[in-house]
A and B are shown apart, each in its own frame.
Chain A
Amino acid sequence: MKPSNVLPGWLTAAALALTLALSPAAPAAAQELVVGLSTPVTSLDPHFHNLTPNNNVADHVFEKLVTKDAKEQLRPGLAESWKALDELTWEFRLRKGVKWHDGSDFTAADVIESIKRIPTVPNSPASFATYTRPIESVTAPNPLTLRIKTVRPHPLLPNDLVAVRIVPARLAAGAKTEEFNSGKLMVGTGPYKFKEYVAGDRVVLERNDAYWGAKPHWKTVRLRMIPNGPARVAALLAGDVQMIEAVPTADIARLEKDPKVAVASAVSNRLIYLHMDSDRNVSPFVTGKDGKPLDRNPFRDVRVRKAVSLAIDRFAIADRIMEKQAQPAGQLLPEFFPGTSKRLTPPRQDLEAARKLLAEAGYPNGFAVTLHAPNNRYINDEKTAQAITGMLNRAGIETRLEAMPSTVFFSRAGKLEFSFFLAGWGAETGETSSPLRALIGSFNAQTGMGQANRGRFSDPGLDAIILTAMTHIDDGKRNLMLAAASDKAIGELQAIIPVHYEVSSWGLRRGLAYTGRADQYTYAFEVRPGK
């Protein structure tokens, strides 16, 4: 819609004149990048709250031993290389010549103090201690070598270390979260130095000219928090920001057509799936079509689970509901991630086969169930659940949808109040052991297995494969076993029903390029001029 179609000629002329007189100062070309982020940070302390926006901002200032590339595969960070000396010991060779923002040298002592600090941060609502708990001891045979001993064989130690951001040793002891928020302790090794933080509004960073890696392009980076989706898009269109994350699906088509902006997308590690009560014999929200309770729980029968999976048209959901911002899923992670099976593909909708399986399982007329879903947590979560409800009804399973805010949803789901619900899982480790252990492994409060297995699915054979896989330090062997576990979990047992992987999108002004990241992070230092 061009302005000349909307406003009469004289008004446009007057507006133009006024625009030139009043336009807000555009950032000095190629010097400042303004990014519109979608969620506010709660703290600048990199060890306080394990929350995506906090980690995103922290990664501009602080770095970790191991880092991830756009496809979430491990890359050297502050550690140049690492290897497992034996089942319980790892050796990390640290990078030479890295300097802190205040000029001092980076050494192994900094890593030791950072790891020591993490479990001691007070009042942490979501601690990073989960990643440091497997570590028994950290020693430094010399200032650039690190020896880490784990309590048990822990092949994912490098993956876990991606979450451990390193702070200077002399500041770590007794560091308070408020001192990070005020900027006093914001000394890191990263491509950007801290300049200003206004709570709930913005974080301003300036280039670290002494950075050891590729010279950061932008002199200043302003990370502005604009939580409202349409407002974020408006800010991009107005030129107030040059990049935004989390473009609302409804606006993507419009942005793609606009000559002033471009859209970068990447499939993420977040799987949207359906979880079924696979444990109880009588499930609260499953009844016969007449409303009377059934003599057994249909979801305990693998044929019923497969029938539900076949009733869903994933491609229609990805195309219409998600407006192509989703990739239909046949397993726990997209195929380029380690630990995925080459044999599992997203099934096409087949209502005939679904009805046949239901009849075989003893439900020729189906049954009645309530689907629960959050309505403000995942992209278009409620709409996806609505579509699934419609599809299941066509397959003969009378389905009702109950959507609710995520606060209520997760509380109730955690108390196992649901029989059938929609949820999501982002595989932080960048491989399939994360969803396998968390969603499908049998729940065990002591070992921490199945911590998000709210359907309480349990198969001892599958557990054995997963646990054995996790003892293999060798990546190749482990990923093969995980692929076999994926095959068994989804292909054979249909423990959960994968629906789709979220596709993350970023909006940029023309002339800027960003390679979308599978972990959904928005790194200003990876934005470069270009196509």
Chain B
Amino acid sequence: MTVFILRRLMQTLLVLAATSLLVFFGLYVIGDPVEILVNPVADEVEKARARAALGLDKPIIEQYWVFLKGAVTGELGTSFVFGRPAMEVILERMPATLELAFLAMVMAVALGVPLGLYAGLRPNSWPAKTIMAASIVGFSLPTFWVGLLLILVFAVQLGWLPSTGRGPTQEVLGLQISILHWEGLKYALLPALNLALFKLSLIIRLTRAQVREQSLLDYIKFARAKGLPRHRVIGVHLLKNILIPLITVIGLELGSVIAFAVVTETIFAWPGMGKLVIDSIFQLDRPVVVAYLMMIVFMFILINLVVDLAYSALDPRVRLAEHR
């Protein structure tokens, strides 16, 4: 087990190094940040000064070397646009994205698993057919369109919920969290719903497929023949077995929700990391993009590790063997 985790750690470092290299040179190739950042009235003297100030006058290899030296000590560069450490800028907005992702995931799982279960257990009833049809709509509609529609219906026409922005926050364990009280939660409902729609559809369909497959197996028949009550058959035995693929998908989707909630954050003006990174790409703010992507890669690897560990906990047949 420890060897497994250690091997994972080493792979992590390799992937992080490769990511930083790719992103660094990729952004360098796109264009010159100074042309974007500097005010159009600036002349050559000003552009040269800006280049020197941002360290862009050195050859690219040297810039990468400076970055690596800093990365080893945890310093991932200073943002060109903000003039502050890139990690600081990202971490400042992380609670906003995390709470949105968390809320979306909770919505998706809390609604998706029961609905999927129902659709799987009574596949030919009309509620089940409605659920399945709705799930197709759910993952076909583009996120930005659904987002604008939600704003139009719930904020403009009905006026039930605020249209954009993040609500007032409270300090919890040193972080600014807004969803723990209704004042802040009502701002998060629409963006979380928007974000959750795709995952919801996915989870419904996956759960239903798993239920269909598992409920035909012998052990379910045996459990029923044994005389176990229905809620125990479904709630304990069936659920545990469908959880494994479900957890894999939820883990991956959680990662992607945190990393790429850009569209939802843009539409709802939610001050999270996704919006930050897309703006940084457009402004060629290389330190922020590199720091962000490295962090995301690390997070995905971590989630993967947790999922694998959860696997072995849930399914006694799975061993985290060394020759994987």
- Chain A positions within 8 Å of B, measured between CB atoms, are 3, 6, 15, 18-19, 22-24, 36, 40, 42-43, 48-51, 122-127, 129-130, 133, 177-178, 181, 198-202, 224-228, 230-232, 234-235, 237-240, 376, 405-408, 410-412, 414, 425-426, 428, 434, 438, 445, 448, 451-452
**Contacts A123-B53, A407-B30 given: A130-B43 contact, CB under 8 Å?**
yes
| Interchain CB contact under 8 A, B151 and A126 | no
| Interchain CB contact under 8 A, A200 and B276 | yes
Q: With an 8 A cutoff between CB atoms, is B164 at the interface? A: yes
- Give the docked Cα–Cα distance between A40 and B278 (Å): 13
| Interchain CB contact under 8 A, A15 and B158 | yes
Q: Which of B1-9, B64-72, B262-270 contacts A (4 or more CB under 8 A)?
A: B262-270
- Give the docked Cα–Cα distance between A452 and B268 (Å): 36
- Chain B positions within 8 Å of A, measured between CB atoms, are 30-46, 49-50, 53-54, 78, 80-84, 89, 92-93, 147-148, 151-152, 155-166, 186, 266-269, 271, 275-276, 279, 281-284
**Contacts A24-B186, A43-B82, A407-B31 given: A226-B164 contact, CB under 8 Å?**
yes
| Interchain CB contact under 8 A, B271 and A123 | no
* Minimum C-beta distance from A215 to chain B (A): 29
**Contacts A130-B39, A199-B92, A234-B164 given: A122-B53 contact, CB under 8 Å?**
yes
| Interchain CB contact under 8 A, A18 and B41 | no
| Interchain CB contact under 8 A, A125 and B269 | no
Closest chain A residue, CB of each to CB of B53: A123
By a CB distance below 8 angstroms, the chain A residues around B37 are 49, 125-126
* Minimum C-beta distance from A90 to chain B (A): 20
By a CB distance below 8 angstroms, the chain B residues around A230 are 148, 267
| Interchain CB contact under 8 A, A124 and B271 | no
13 contacts between A and B (CB under 8 A): A19-B159, A24-B161, A124-B50, A125-B53, A130-B42, A133-B45, A200-B271, A200-B276, A235-B163, A406-B282, A408-B30, A411-B31, A451-B42
Partner of A227 from the list B83, B92, B266 (CB cut-off 8 Å) is: B266
| Interchain CB contact under 8 A, A199 and B271 | yes
By a CB distance below 8 angstroms, the chain B residues around A376 are 282
- Give the docked Cα–Cα distance between A360 and B181 (Å): 75
| Interchain CB contact under 8 A, B54 and A123 | yes
| Interchain CB contact under 8 A, B282 and A407 | yes
Partner of A231 from the list B78, B89, B151, B160 (CB cut-off 8 Å) is: B151
| Interchain CB contact under 8 A, B49 and A234 | no
Closest chain A residue, CB of each to CB of B148: A230
| Interchain CB contact under 8 A, B279 and A40 | yes
| Interchain CB contact under 8 A, B53 and A225 | no
**Contacts A3-B157, A19-B158 given: A124-B166 contact, CB under 8 Å?**
no
| Interchain CB contact under 8 A, A201 and B271 | yes
**Contacts A42-B82, A123-B53, A376-B282 given: A200-B164 contact, CB under 8 Å?**
no
By a CB distance below 8 angstroms, the chain B residues around A133 are 45
Closest chain A residue, CB of each to CB of B49: A127
- Closest A-B pairs by Cβ, 3 of them: A411-B31, A448-B43, A200-B271
**Contacts A226-B164, A235-B163, A407-B283 given: A445-B44 contact, CB under 8 Å?**
yes
- Give the docked Cα–Cα distance between A124 and B53 (Å): 7
By a CB distance below 8 angstroms, the chain A residues around B34 are 125
| Interchain CB contact under 8 A, B159 and A23 | yes
By a CB distance below 8 angstroms, the chain B residues around A36 are 164
By a CB distance below 8 angstroms, the chain B residues around A238 are 151, 155-156, 159, 162-163
By a CB distance below 8 angstroms, the chain B residues around A410 are 31, 35-36
- Give the docked Cα–Cα distance between A225 and B270 (Å): 9
- Give the docked Cα–Cα distance between A48 and B83 (Å): 9
- Give the docked Cα–Cα distance between A445 and B43 (Å): 7
| Interchain CB contact under 8 A, B160 and A228 | no
Q: Which of A49, A408, A438 has the most CB of B within 10 A?
A: A49
